[in-house]
Amino acid sequence: MALPTIREWSDEQRQVLNAVHTALLHNRMLKISSQVLQQEKALIEPLGLSVQCDALLLLFRLSGQHTIRTLALPLIDEASVSTFSFTYPTDFNVERFMREHAEIRASQI
């Protein structure tokens, strides 16, 4: 499945990006729904954004877990900024994570 380019995004996908942006700026948790996560609503800690293979990826952790995951933004059906904040991991660096996980490809997300 080819992901749409940003120019092809729907209004809903742009709203997801706005919610992600706000959550990242204010260290707020996000409530997202995505068929990929197989959960109706997941509470996540957004850690950063990265471009990989022409896809905009969200790097995040599920609430209460340490494993960092990635998800292409167009695969998020809905996102809303939570009132809950979280402590950003002091040892996390988006650029280093993506370098160490160079095998991540949009088709695997």
The SS3 call for residue 20 is helix
In a domain, 2, yes or no: no
CATH for 90: 3.90.70
The chain-wide mean pLDDT, for the chain, equals: 87
Check if the beta carbon of residue 53 is closer than 8 Å to that of residue 104. no
Q: Which domain, by its residues, includes 94?
A: 10-108
> Residue 109: is its pLDDT beyond 50?
no
67 within domain boundaries: yes
Residue 14, domain member (yes or no): yes
Q: Is the pLDDT of residue 28 over 50?
A: yes
Does a structural domain hold residue 57?
yes
Whether 4 is covered by a domain: the verdict is no
For the entire predicted model, the pTM comes to 0.84
pLDDT, greater one: 109 or 19: 19
Asked whether the predicted pLDDT for residue 1 surpasses 70, the reply is no
Which pLDDT value is given to residue 76?
Answer: 93
Q: Which of 78, 40, 56, 70 is nearest to 3 (CA)?
A: 56
Number of domains in the chain: 1
